[in-house]
Amino acid sequence: MALQSFSLHPPSEEARQTIESIMVENVSMKLLPTHCINAAGELEGFMLNVPDDAKGAILPTNRSMFHGTSLFEVNSARSSVFNEDIMRLQQTANTKEAMQQLMQKITAQARGHEANFRCMPDSLDIMSSVKTDGCVMEGCISRTTGRRNVDFGSWQPELPYSIGLYQAFCRGYQKDTRVHKLFIGISGGLNKCSDEFYNMLLDVGNEFTCKEIAQSEEAWWLRKACQRARARLAVLTAEHFDLKVTTVQDLFAFDQEVKMGVPVTDTIEYDIKEGPNRTVEFYSACIDTTSIQNGILTRMHPSEGLWIFRGSAKSSAKVTSFGSLFGSKNVCGVFPTRSPCYKRNQGSPACVNGLDSDLVVRYNPGQHLADDEADQPRKNERVAPDGFVYQCFDERFMSKLSDMQWDRNCGVTELVPIVVGLG
């Protein structure tokens, strides 16, 4: 049964056919206000609940599994009302060039060193031999059981969907003052390894149950590795723009000297995890509201930035506290994580063209144009994906979120882009 009470519009014919192919016995689905057939031709914006003993092939996985968005606060000096780092970045003429250089650097470092399942730890104890100073061979047991996130190989984070510097005036729940803050936002994951996960389930999905897939080493490691990749990129971005973020040592890295940023908020857009009553839950461009720790990041059009939907107030002295869990799975328990991109007849009729602003830098400027158009010099960089639009979060949409148990009194923090790089 597909629950449409939270949807703003009925599914298109293509979406309806996709839903019918997924909906088998004992499977339920919640359609969100953002459900659509996206630019990749896939159904997104729903939560699927399946029996844990069902065959794994029923899960509608894609090539972006466990991708998400992470937000990192920049530690800036505040000698006045305005953030000094933000003022410096806005006065710098080559910010777009610097972002282009950063994306080229990430691509060059990752080429040939992308993460794959060969980097995943083996759950068995491994016997190996080492040479001592006296050239005597000694046996050594490498114990990996219980260390599901430890890398067994070195890898570099790949170019994500987007890298952005964002500003916002933030006010916490306990302080009635607004603080001008600078954030680094990273959206994406490990493209090559997510592609391997997708292909693996295509090949052997029917050999395992949904519960086995949700508990698998591959899913566990990939979910964490995608988060760590975003955290590593935050450090690289901060160094490139001469900024400071809170860092820690990546204890799971194969290379022990790797540093990663500490996210303020982290939102996984595509996830598989165990649910109540012997079920498995599949999240597509949405998140479980009963498990969030500090607000929900929602990706808007790159020119519009990121929105943080604040949750229920929690005890914290930090002004960047965006609230914790809310809602109930018995009523809704899910929340959208993006403004989807779709053709006009494949999603909500409330949409915007979503033209690039001067703040957006595309790694491949012609990637959304036809081949003949891409070869021509473009005088106007403010182009939209050919024939596609972005959903508009209007009043009707916000009212529907209230029906989904989000308290509008908690508010929304809008992160305004300074510069955004699109991979």
Query: Higher model confidence: residue 146 or residue 170?
Result: 170
Mean pLDDT of 59-65: 93
Report which of 245, 223, 219, 221 is spatially closest to residue 233, judged by C-alpha positions. 245
Mean pLDDT of 369-389: 52
Q: Which residue has the tokens 């050919």?
A: 386
pLDDT at 311: 87
- Assess whether pLDDT exceeds 70 at residue 371: no
Question: φ, ψ for residue 162 (rounded to 5)?
Answer: -150, 150
Q: What is the DSSP string of 93-116?
A: TTHHHHHHHHHHHHHHHHTT----
Least confident of 223-232, 267-276, 318-327, 404-413: 318-327
Q: What is the DSSP string of 309-331?
A: E--B--S---TT---B----TTT
- Assess whether pLDDT exceeds 90 at residue 281: yes
The C-alpha atoms of residue 131 and residue 91 are separated, in whole angstroms, by: 58
Buried-state track 231-242, b at ≥16 Cβ within 10 A, e below 16: bbbbbbbbeebe
Q: Would you list the domain boundaries of the chain?
A: 61-118+148-263+289-330+353-386+415-422
pLDDT at 133: 54
Q: How confident is the model at residue 287 (pLDDT cuts 50, 70, 90)?
A: very high
pTM: 0.88
- Assess whether pLDDT exceeds 70 at residue 400: yes
% pLDDT > 70, the chain: 85
pLDDT at 254: 86
Q: How confident is the model at residue 389 (pLDDT cuts 50, 70, 90)?
A: very high
Least confident of 64-73, 121-130, 285-294, 334-343: 121-130
Write out pLDDT tens, residues 237-254: 999 999 999 999 988 888
- Assess whether pLDDT exceeds 60 at residue 138: no
Range with the largest mean pLDDT of 82-86, 119-123, 343-347, 381-385: 343-347
